[in-house]
Structure 1
Amino acid sequence: MMGEFDTIRPYNDSEVPAVLERLFSDKAFLDILTHFRFPRFAGALGWLLKPMIARKLRREFAGVTTVATLQDKVEYYVDHTIDRATDGVTYTGVEQLKSGTAYVFLANHRDIVMDPAFVNYAVYHAGLPTPRIAIGDNLLQKPFVSDLMRLNKSFIVHRSITGRKEKMAAYQLLSAYINHSIRHDCQSIWIAQAEGRAKDGDDRTESAILKMFHVSRKDEPFAEVIQSLNLTPVSISYEYDPCDLAKARELYIRATTGTYTKAPGEDDVSIALGITGYKGRVHVNFAPPITERFEDTKLLAVEMDRQILGGYRLFPVHYLAYAQWSDADPQLQVPKAADIFPADELAKAKAEWERRLSECPVEHRPFLVVQYATPVRNQYRVKAGIPL
């Protein structure tokens, strides 16, 4: 019998062995692993390497029969990836999260996979259950990607539906699932504050997402629904964005042509680069859950922005970019990087920033600068009590 949420929910423990077996037999999945592990030989010797990798995976995951044991197994690889691709990850506010309480983590969104991965990492290492992760169906075009994500507690947000009636039904189902997760399953949720990544660095909460939380409980006051969900603003700050040049290119094309069409497989490239690319330091801040009563989505969105932008950690590169930005806000008192950071830290940042600028085509550079400068403007506006 099909459950109410079967079309969008993550996989249950009982489904894990069969899904793993399906993955280890998936040609596209094995092909990607082979190219990643043996880039020089994958073409000519793929026929030999793929069965070998499949056998190794079956051996390694033989004892995995639940989502929790799978996450324990995968955590080693996550830790390894974080060690290789960052100069360290720091967290603030995670200590206030209580065992036995479920939260809706509403976060700014810069990277498709790593944003929720870093939140997961924090929560996992705090000894708490990892959240269920909202992921758009636009990213799940290959069956193995859908399997991988749903094994790792991801649930599907149907974004590619076009009909108005169908959209509303999907919206209702998503709302019901999130509420069910928090109130009945006591499972936390990670969801981005807006649809799609903030490619220009301008993190803003879409009031439509806040409205969605309420849709399935319309007979209850909005404020009470929000309070029942333990809505928690989360800020993730990357010192460097591995996808910054690609984002600058996209922003440039949008600005000059009015539109941008993704190439086939572009999201896959972004995902891979986001996972493996150098990020410098990473910081994640968990603000206290929202306890104030908000009767209106727009007012709540303003508060979420205040918390998320206020909790964002600015690194030297952000100040360096802001100093170069043609749209810097003259009414803000933003200090120079040299007044905040030690000389050695600043010198390292300057070298890396110059390297990134030099790799960026001249016409794209303003769109690289804006990604790093905007968080400075936003945070100092929040500090000054100036509307965004």
Structure 2
Amino acid sequence: MSNKFDSIRHYHDHEVNEVLQKISKHPMIKALMGFTFPDKTEEEWMEALMQVNSIQQFQSDFAYHSIQRILEKSSSGLTTSGFEKLEKDTAYLYISNHRDIIMDTSLLNVTLKDHGLIMTASAIGDNLVQKTFLLALAKVNRNFLVRRNLPPRELLESSKLMSEYIQDLLVNKNRSVWIAQREGRTKDGNDATHPGVLKMLGMAADENNLMDYFKKIKIVPVSISYEYDPTDALKMPQIIAKAKDEIYIKEKNEDFINLYSGIVGQKKGIHIHIGNILDSELDEIKNSTDKVNKQIQAVANAIDRSIIKDYYLWPTNYVAYDILHNSNRFVNKYTEKEKLLFERRLELRVNKQDKTVVDSFLAMYANPVINKLKLTNEQ
């Protein structure tokens, strides 16, 4: 039976086993399974993989353990806050700042699973899953596709389809959804919600007022922060091009390299905070204006305030702020050793002779501090 969402949807449970049979011999799967289950032989994990008949089973028995191993190897651990305010058996729309292609959603889902909450279907750019194997792995992990680089008319059609799909997941299937607050990852540490994301979400609304629909789908802002961004140096060329007003052209395998580096690179501390479900704010917005564009901008601002307010700041953020501003303002927030480690990273990753590059690298880590100060008028 064909379905109008077939071009973007994740796999259905009845498709999972066949897909896993197909990709099980892929060298990347072998490497991933060898990494995840170092104590098991290939025959053992292969046999277990062949028994999988649902996304839930794949995530519980395989993906969950892969993420735990990645955390062991590439971080000093994951801390979380705010999850206690979520209700079991309830679908939420998580709108999150976006730092890492794979880890952001994977870590959220690991934590949702640990709390017995509904895990998400997650949006992923189709540019990131060009390889057949990656596409299969994404869809078996309940990712659905956001189509990128479309001409305007197709973009409108695609946005409408995605909006309807997200509505179907949340309202009809009782499935939580994760979407980034903007297209692509934040490269400069400035987390800002793009109104276009909210406009897309609102396309499927049949309520008279968009704010009523946004209340119905239970929007939850999520702040995720990494002590070290494993792709910080990789983000530099794009930031520099933007600073110089140049068009940035991606290298052929750049997305894949970013994806891989984000997974295996050292992150040290990681924190996820779940903000309050948008509710009374939406009533206030509804009562203050009936102009849709103004409403959407006000919702974006509310999400931004939540994400910035609850963004967990690490010593690296404070060190970067002090170096960038040549100050000792936050000297009580880090140790001398933490400062030396950060300076060492800066030396290894960027050309110290190029002030633009150095300042951009520092700003990437310092901007979350600056944005929090702006929010509390403490600049």
Q: TM-score, normalised by structure 2?
A: 0.89
CA distance in 1, matches of 2:103, 2:314: 19
Residue 351 of structure 2 corresponds to residue 361 of structure 1: yes
Contact 2:187 2:364 in 1 (8 A): yes
Residue 146 of structure 2 corresponds to residue 146 of structure 1: no
1:16-31 superposed matches below 5 A: 16-25=16-25, 29-30=26-27
Counterpart of 1:88 in 2: which secondary structure?
A: strand
Q: CA deviation at 1:254?
A: 3.6
**Which residue of the partner structure matches residue 61 of structure 2?**
73
Counterpart of 2:278 in 1: which secondary structure?
A: coil
Counterpart of 2:302 in 1: which secondary structure?
A: helix
Residue 240 of structure 2 corresponds to residue 252 of structure 1: yes
CA distance in 1, matches of 2:273, 2:33: 32
Which residue among 374, 380, 384 is the counterpart of 2:377? 384
**Once the two structures are superposed, what CA deviation does each residue of 1:137-187 show, in whole Å capped at 9, x if it has no partner?**
11111111111001001011112322x221111111111111111111110
Counterpart of 1:281 in 2: which secondary structure?
A: strand
**Once the two structures are superposed, what CA deviation does each residue of 1:351-381 show, in whole Å capped at 9, x if it has no partner?**
2211111111122211110100111110111
CA distance in 2, matches of 1:257, 1:97: 43
Aligned-residue identity in percent:
31
1:270-309 superposed matches below 5 A: 270-291=258-279, 292-293=281-282, 294-295=285-286, 296-309=295-308
**Once the two structures are superposed, what CA deviation does each residue of 1:195-229 show, in whole Å capped at 9, x if it has no partner?**
01110111000011111111122553110010011
**Which residue of the partner structure matches residue 127 of structure 1?**
116
Contact 1:233 1:307 in 2 (8 A): yes
Contact 1:316 1:337 in 2 (8 A): no
| One-letter code aligned to 1:265 | N
Which residue among 102, 108, 111 is the counterpart of 2:100? 111
CA distance in 1, matches of 2:227, 2:359: 18
**Which residue of the partner structure matches residue 212 of structure 1?**
200
Residue 180 of structure 2 corresponds to residue 192 of structure 1: yes
| One-letter code aligned to 1:20 | L
CA distance in 2, matches of 1:37, 1:273: 18
Contact 2:32 2:66 in 1 (8 A): no
Contact 1:105 1:188 in 2 (8 A): yes
**Which residue of the partner structure matches residue 202 of structure 1?**
190
**Which residue of the partner structure matches residue 48 of structure 1?**
none
CA distance in 2, matches of 1:279, 1:299: 33
**Once the two structures are superposed, what CA deviation does each residue of 1:74-109 show, in whole Å capped at 9, x if it has no partner?**
211211111111111110101111011110000001
**Once the two structures are superposed, what CA deviation does each residue of 1:305-357 show, in whole Å capped at 9, x if it has no partner?**
0000001011111111111225x9xxxxx98332335xxxx233212211111
**Which residue of the partner structure matches residue 86 of structure 2?**
97
Which residue among 237, 255, 268 is the counterpart of 2:256? 268
| One-letter code aligned to 1:373 | A
Residues 84 and 101 from structure 1, CA distance in 2 versus in 1: closer, same or farther, beyond 3 angstroms? same
| One-letter code aligned to 2:363 | V
Q: For the aligned residues, what is the CA RMSD? A: 2.2
Q: CA deviation at 1:32?
A: 7.6
**Which residue of the partner structure matches residue 3 of structure 2?**
3
Q: TM-score, normalised by structure 1?
A: 0.87
Segment drifting more, 61-70 vs 346-355: 346-355
CA distance in 1, matches of 2:114, 2:30: 27
- For structure 1, the residue ranges without an aligned partner over 5 or more in a row are 39-51, 329-333
Contact 1:24 1:57 in 2 (8 A): no
Residue 170 of structure 2 corresponds to residue 182 of structure 1: yes
Q: CA deviation at 1:130?
A: 1.1
**Once the two structures are superposed, what CA deviation does each residue of 1:25-80 show, in whole Å capped at 9, x if it has no partner?**
5xxx4268559969xxxxxxxxxxxxx96x66532312111111101122112111
Structure 1 residue runs of 4 or more that deviate by more than 6 Å after TM superposition: 35-38
CA distance in 2, matches of 1:190, 1:219: 22
Segment drifting more, 14-23 vs 288-297: 288-297
CA distance in 2, matches of 1:221, 1:71: 37
- For structure 2, the residue ranges without an aligned partner over 5 or more in a row are 36-40, 287-294
Residues 56 and 265 from structure 1, CA distance in 2 versus in 1: closer, same or farther, beyond 3 angstroms? farther
Contact 1:137 1:160 in 2 (8 A): no
Which residue among 79, 84, 92 is the counterpart of 2:73? 84
**Which residue of the partner structure matches residue 41 of structure 1?**
none
| One-letter code aligned to 1:207 | P
Contact 1:319 1:337 in 2 (8 A): yes
**Which residue of the partner structure matches residue 367 of structure 2?**
374
Residues 319 and 276 from structure 1, CA distance in 2 versus in 1: closer, same or farther, beyond 3 angstroms? same
Residues 358 and 83 from structure 1, CA distance in 2 versus in 1: closer, same or farther, beyond 3 angstroms? same
Contact 1:248 1:365 in 2 (8 A): no
